[in-house]
Amino acid sequence: MGEKLEDHHVMKKILHVVSKRLKQVAVVIEMLTDLDVATIKELVGKLRVAEDVDNDEVKEVAESAGRLHLTEEQWEARRRQRNKEWACNGDA
């Protein structure tokens, strides 16, 4: 049979195979966590928190992307106002 891997070896393997989205988090965890003392449960918990935060940010961006913030008329009015301001500043 195979040898029994110690927890810190398993955690190092987990940190090396995380998705690209969590790679930076994995590096920070590996640098700042004593893997000889930490548990696999703690490691998985930290990765889940990071994944949840990332998922929330993705949802927020996706929701705001579907909203129209200004109408075409509002953009045109802003452009005309800026042109007037630039014309006035050019005369000064």
Instruction: Say what the pLDDT of residue 92 is.
Output: 54
- The answer to whether residue 25 is domain-embedded is yes
Answer whether 0.75 is exceeded by the pTM. no
Number of folded domains that form the chain: 1
Instruction: Say what the pLDDT of residue 66 is.
Output: 67
CA distances for 63 relative to 22, 27, 66, 75, angstroms: 22, 30, 6, 22
- The answer to whether residue 78 is domain-embedded is yes
- The answer to whether residue 73 is domain-embedded is yes
Token couple for 13: 């393997």
Instruction: Say what the pLDDT of residue 15 is.
Output: 94
- The answer to whether residue 83 is domain-embedded is yes
- The answer to whether residue 1 is domain-embedded is no
Range of the domain at 46: 7-91
Q: Counting Cβ atoms within 10 Å, is residue 52 exposed (0-12), middle (13-18) or buried (19+)?
A: exposed
Instruction: Say what the pLDDT of residue 32 is.
Output: 92
| Contacts by 19-22, CB closer than 8 A, 24 or more apart | 21/51, 21/54, 22/47, 22/50, 22/51, 22/54
- The answer to whether residue 64 is domain-embedded is yes
Per-residue pLDDT tens digits of the chain, which is 92 residues long = 455 678 889 999 999 999 998 899 999 999 999 999 999 999 999 999 988 888 877 777 667 666 667 788 888 999 999 998 888 876 65
- The answer to whether residue 82 is domain-embedded is yes
